[in-house]
């Protein structure tokens, strides 16, 4: 037991400075906002700037398609809320071999919306997820999921604290968040 307690203490000691250095607590992050449910049902839209720079992928995830039309904030769907933990666990289970699906915590602080890009219309979900009892699984985030008009939900990845690496900037702006 002493070894697992020491390991947990070490993980916590590493995670706190990493979180502080990654900018957690800045005005652009979603952690600690107190929001635990979907955005309000009222839709908000914004035109994407045509000169919007291409986003850079982070944490090995896919590059965010750039918006060419409207980005709209939407209420999160039950379908997305059910798919997100399964897809998250499918991706991270190899990193946490002792984890079980019922240990997934989240989604929390969920953002949800739709954007039109040169490649089609995509719905995005962003939320905090972790594995209960595993301090390392709580660092960075939030996580991103995406769905095309005719595709299933897919786990895009961990943002590393930068939403614009994996979500079009127009949608990030509609959510009232900032890039970097």
Quick check: is 140 in a domain?
Answer: yes
Query: What pLDDT sits at residue 114?
Result: 97
Q: How many domains does the chain have?
A: 1
Enclosing domain of residue 170 = 2-174
- The contacts of residue 102 (CB under 8 Å, 6+ apart) are none
Q: In degrees rounded to 5, what are phi and psi of residue 69?
A: -130, -125
Neighbouring CB atoms inside 10 A of 27's CB total 8
Query: What pLDDT sits at residue 57?
Result: 37
Query: What pLDDT sits at residue 112?
Result: 98
Quick check: is 159 in a domain?
Answer: yes
Query: What pLDDT sits at residue 143?
Result: 97
Query: What pLDDT sits at residue 63?
Result: 58
Quick check: is 179 in a domain?
Answer: no
Quick check: is 86 in a domain?
Answer: yes
Query: What pLDDT sits at residue 119?
Result: 85
Nearest residue to 168 via CA among 159, 76, 23: 159
Strand ranges in 5-151 using DSSP code E only, listed in sequence order: 44-47, 67-73, 104-117, 120-131, 143-148
pLDDT digits (tens, 9 = 90+) for 81-99: 999 999 999 999 999 999 9
Query: What pLDDT sits at residue 171?
Result: 94
What sign does the dihedral 26-32-38-41 (CA atoms) show?
negative
How far apart are alpha carbons 78 and 173 in whole angstroms?
A: 24
Low-confidence ranges of the chain (pLDDT < 50): 1-61
Quick check: is 76 in a domain?
Answer: yes
Query: What pLDDT sits at residue 58?
Result: 37
pLDDT digits (tens, 9 = 90+) for 17-42: 333 333 333 333 333 333 333 333 33
Do the beta carbons of residue 31 and residue 142 sit within 8 Å?
yes
Q: What number of CA atoms fall less than 13 Å from residue 63's CA on the CB side?
A: 9
Query: What pLDDT sits at residue 78?
Result: 97
Do the beta carbons of residue 158 and residue 59 sit within 8 Å?
yes
Quick check: is 180 in a domain?
Answer: no
Query: What pLDDT sits at residue 60?
Result: 42
């Amino acid at each position: 037991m002493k070894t697992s307690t020491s390991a947990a203490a070490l993980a916590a000691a590493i995670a706190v400075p990493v979180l502080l250095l990654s900018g957690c607590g800045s005005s652009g992050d979603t952690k600690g906002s107190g929001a635990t449910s979907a955005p309000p049902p009222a839709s908000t839209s914004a035109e994407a700037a045509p000169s919007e720079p291409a986003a850079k992928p982070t944490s090995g995830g896919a590059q965010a398609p750039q918006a060419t039309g409207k980005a709209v904030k939407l209420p999160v769907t039950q379908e997305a809320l059910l798919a997100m933990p399964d897809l998250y666990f499918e991706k991270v289970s190899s990193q946490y071999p002792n984890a079980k699906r019922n240990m997934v915590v989240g989604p929390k602080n969920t953002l949800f919306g739709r954007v039109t890009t040169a490649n089609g219309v995509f719905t995005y979900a962003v939320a905090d997820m972790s594995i209960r009892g595993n301090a390392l699984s709580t660092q960075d985030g939030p996580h991103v999921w995406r769905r095309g008009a005719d595709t299933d939900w897919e786990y895009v990845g961990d943002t590393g604290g930068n939403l614009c690496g994996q979500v079009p900037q127009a949608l990030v702006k509609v959510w009232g968040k900032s890039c970097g």
